[in-house]
Amino acid sequence: MIELANDRWFPIINTVFAGGAAALWYLSSGQIGWPLLAAILIPWFLRIAAGHFPFRRTRFDGWLLLFGVTAVISTFTAYDPAGAEGKLWVIIGALAVYFAVVSVSRRDIWLLAGATGPIGALLALYFLLSNDWRLWPAELGVFNRLGLLWMGLRPSFGLPVLHPNTLAGMMALLLPFTIAFGLFAWRKRQLRWLQLAVVTGAIAAGGLLLTSSLGAWLSLTAGLGLWLLWELSGRFQRRLRFSRRTVFITAVLALLAAGLLLVVVATVSGIGHASGRLILARQTWFLIQDFALTGSGLATFPALYAQYIQVTPVFFAAYSNLFLDIWLEQGVVALVAMVVLVGTSFWLLLEQSDFSLKSKRLEETPERARRWRADKMSSDDLVLFRWGALVSLVVMVLHGLVDDALFGSHASPLLFFAPAMVVLVTRQSEAETAVPITKRLARLGLGLGVTAVLLVGLFLGFRQQIRAQWYANLGALELARAELVGWPTGQWDSGQNLERFAEATTYFEQALAIDPDNRTALHRLGVMAMVAREYETAVSHLARANAQALSHRGVGKSLGYSYVWQGQYEQAAPYLTSLPEVRTEMAVYVSWWPRQNRPALADRANEMMIILEGNLLSIP
């Protein structure tokens, strides 16, 4: 067994086991649970028996530990512990994949890069065999027609349907390594490897195309464009008589400015996804404020957004921003850990002498050459995979800003794959060791000390607001547990069992006793008053909450409905006219209220529906 742990191929086997366990957790939504831990822990025990640390240590270990700890804590804050636990297992699988990848020898980078092709192809095939184009229609009409035609021909496998943007994000994340592997195979004149890269890469690229995920396309194009710009800048530097770095940075800044301009124009004009994604991000920010001190818990975003932003008992919004979703569900500590992980990954790549934007290139010394030969990977070969890692990291960040393929839903085993590959391709030598434990402890102590000072300063400076928000945060958690049981129910709350709100009400009242303008407490008390049919109280709370956040969709809609049920149609109209779903909901309320023995409210719903129709007709 000890010989096995020291074998050259042990890290590859470990990666296969970790990847397999993570994939099974992902496919089962974490339902398999504990049994798959054996695939991860047995290789660790073998390494310990051989006298080694269970995994290769890196500079990211502490941040990953923080991320994992906050994920565990977030299973206790979630309104649905079972769903949160399922997502936790996938995150554990993603961490296992990270530690398995960074333990691989640098000479075997090409094996990992080569494996991304078949994995990407499998993701594309899964999309073709499972996607429901009626549920998730393609944004391009031709792709939607082709998809519907294919659905009529393919056999039914009963596979879980994943959002096309989720699969597209993972395919886009892997494709840069497949391209790097193909170039490596071409350089080595290995025809079979090249064929593997071309075939699997073409399948993955075709699947990515058919998803019609604009965010994935653009993020991959941006990353590959950087690679192409670097190559072209080397050719133009002679003609323009500028350094390669100057040409490259100038081109990148010009393209970045053009891209930002297009985004601004699209947002202001309300064109395409830019405006919708910005609105979704703004509304998610309000939810983050509600759970600022604890996080809302794993696997909670869709229900929270539907209940308190969209104000509907059915599924509405998928995860849409990697960083905001982490912040909401796991809190600010997890967000900081992810930002440090990504930011440091970029720095590790850009500081490489044979990859960075520095004009000076280190010479190939005899010692350096011997090291490359021992690793069976030349410096030029390694640069290919560094570019693959950079492009993949760009995809992770850019696509993460508009769609959440890696943390949303029940997370992804590829959550930390790009940073892991960065660690692998920037490792200076196989003998490179982790930072000594004394230095690690010193850094940890310094970091904890600075953090403690900052937290104490913040608490002393904003003591009242923090105390109030703490109680409001606890109340928001309790209300979610009371309201979101069995979500989505597809039914409006009929006002039964109001006792379930007692604990949440106590927390909110404590928050308002400290800070009378706490928006979270005011909003949630207004929501509970609506369920209790106490609309005058609801208006009182919601109007004050609306004054704190004029663009909060959920507060405005709830306030508008409370005015309607009081018969104050003129006051309600400004809050409801711009919401496209209100007219349909009012039509449903016309038949729903009589079943609740509230015929007067049904008449008011009908009256408001007529007013809304008149407002629509008056719009030129």
HEC secondary structure over 502-516: HHHHHHHHHHHHHCC
pLDDT above 70 covers a percentage of the chain that reads: 83
Cβ contacts of 387 within 8 Å, gap of 6 or more = 176, 180, 227, 230, 355
Give pLDDT, residue 433: 47
Give pLDDT, residue 494: 85
179: three-class secondary structure by DSSP: helix
Helix (H) or strand (E) holding 407: none
Q: Are 396 and 516 within one domain? A: no
Q: Are 390 and 502 within one domain? A: no
Domain boundary among 406, 428, 450: 428
Domain boundary among 409, 428, 447: 428
CA angle, 162 then 490 then 81, to 5°? 60
CB atoms within 10 A of CB 376: 12
The single-letter DSSP state of residue 612 is H
Nearest residue to 328 (alpha-carbon basis) of 275, 412, 407: 407
Q: Of 8-22, 363-377, 411-425, 556-570, which range is least confident?
A: 363-377
Span 395-401, mean pLDDT?
94
Q: Are 526 and 568 within one domain? A: yes
pLDDT of 619 strictly over 50: no
Span 468-486, mean pLDDT?
95
* Contact call for residues 538 and 518 (beta carbons, < 8 A): no
| Residue whose entry in the numeric block shows the structure tokens 């804050």 | 77
* Contact call for residues 364 and 379 (beta carbons, < 8 A): yes
Measured in degrees and rounded to the nearest 5, phi and psi for residue 258 equal -65, -40
132 found inside a domain: yes
467 found inside a domain: yes
Q: Are 489 and 407 within one domain? A: no
At 272-331, the pLDDT tens digits run: 556 678 889 999 999 999 999 999 999 999 999 999 999 998 887 678 899 999 999 999
The single-letter DSSP state of residue 501 is G
pLDDT of 371 strictly over 50: no
Domain count, the chain: 2
Helix (H) or strand (E) holding 538: helix 535-548
Give pLDDT, residue 261: 67
CA angle, 100 then 103 then 106, to 5°? 125
Q: State the Rg of the chain over Cα.
A: 27
Q: Are 401 and 475 within one domain? A: no
Nearest residue to 211 (alpha-carbon basis) of 319, 114, 323, 126: 126
Span 515-540, mean pLDDT?
96
473 found inside a domain: yes
Please give the mean pLDDT across all residues of the chain: 86
Q: Are 14 and 117 within one domain? A: yes
545 found inside a domain: yes
Q: Are 86 and 149 within one domain? A: yes
Q: Which residue has the higher pLDDT, 136 or 342?
A: 342
Q: Are 490 and 580 within one domain? A: yes
Alpha-helix residue ranges (DSSP H) falling in 462-501: 463-483
Identify the band that residue 233 occupies on the pLDDT scale cut at 50, 70 and 90: confident
Q: Which residue has the higher pLDDT, 453 or 515?
A: 515
Cβ contacts of 29 within 8 Å, gap of 6 or more = 86, 87, 90, 160, 410
Domain boundary among 377, 409, 428: 428
Dist CA 509 CA 507 (whole Å): 5
Helix (H) or strand (E) holding 431: none
Give pLDDT, residue 374: 42
Span 15-32, mean pLDDT?
92
586 found inside a domain: yes
Nearest residue to 395 (alpha-carbon basis) of 172, 114, 166: 172
Q: Are 163 and 35 within one domain? A: yes
Per-position b or e across 89-122, b if 16+ CB within 10 A of its CB: bbbbbbbbbbbbbbbbbbebbbebbbbbbbbbbb
At 482-504, the pLDDT tens digits run: 999 888 888 888 888 899 999 99
Cβ contacts of 396 within 8 Å, gap of 6 or more = 173, 322, 342, 406, 418
* Contact call for residues 419 and 60 (beta carbons, < 8 A): yes
Quote the tokens at residue 343: 């930011």
Q: Are 173 and 284 within one domain? A: yes
Q: Are 164 and 219 within one domain? A: yes
Nearest residue to 177 (alpha-carbon basis) of 112, 128, 234: 112
pLDDT of 123 strictly over 80: yes
Measured in degrees and rounded to the nearest 5, phi and psi for residue 559 equal -65, -45
pLDDT above 90 covers a percentage of the chain that reads: 58
Quote the tokens at residue 171: 């395919």
Span 547-561, mean pLDDT?
95
Identify the band that residue 461 occupies on the pLDDT scale cut at 50, 70 and 90: low
444 found inside a domain: no
* Contact call for residues 517 and 548 (beta carbons, < 8 A): yes
CB atoms within 10 A of CB 526: 26
Q: Which residue has the higher pLDDT, 289 or 382?
A: 289
At 144-185, the pLDDT tens digits run: 888 889 888 888 877 888 889 999 999 999 999 999 999 999
pLDDT of 266 strictly over 70: no
At 555-606, the pLDDT tens digits run: 999 999 999 999 999 999 999 998 999 999 999 999 999 999 999 999 999 9
Domain boundaries, position 162: 2-428
* Contact call for residues 384 and 359 (beta carbons, < 8 A): no
Dist CA 126 CA 118 (whole Å): 12
* Contact call for residues 211 and 126 (beta carbons, < 8 A): no
269 found inside a domain: yes
Instruction: Let me know if 548 is exposed, middle or buried by CB neighbors in 10 A (0-12, 13-18, 19+).
Output: middle
* Contact call for residues 63 and 420 (beta carbons, < 8 A): no
pLDDT of 368 strictly over 60: no
- Amino acid in position 601: L
438 found inside a domain: no
Whether residue 54 is preceded by a cis peptide bond, meaning omega within 30 degrees of 0, is: no
CA angle, 250 then 254 then 257, to 5°? 140
Dist CA 324 CA 332 (whole Å): 10
Largest distance between two CA atoms of the chain: 90
Q: Are 383 and 483 within one domain? A: no
Instruction: Let me know if 243 is exposed, middle or buried by CB neighbors in 10 A (0-12, 13-18, 19+).
Output: middle
Dist CA 526 CA 581 (whole Å): 21
Cβ contacts of 361 within 8 Å, gap of 6 or more = 353, 354
Give pLDDT, residue 8: 76
Q: Of 180-189, 398-407, 447-456, which range is least confident?
A: 447-456
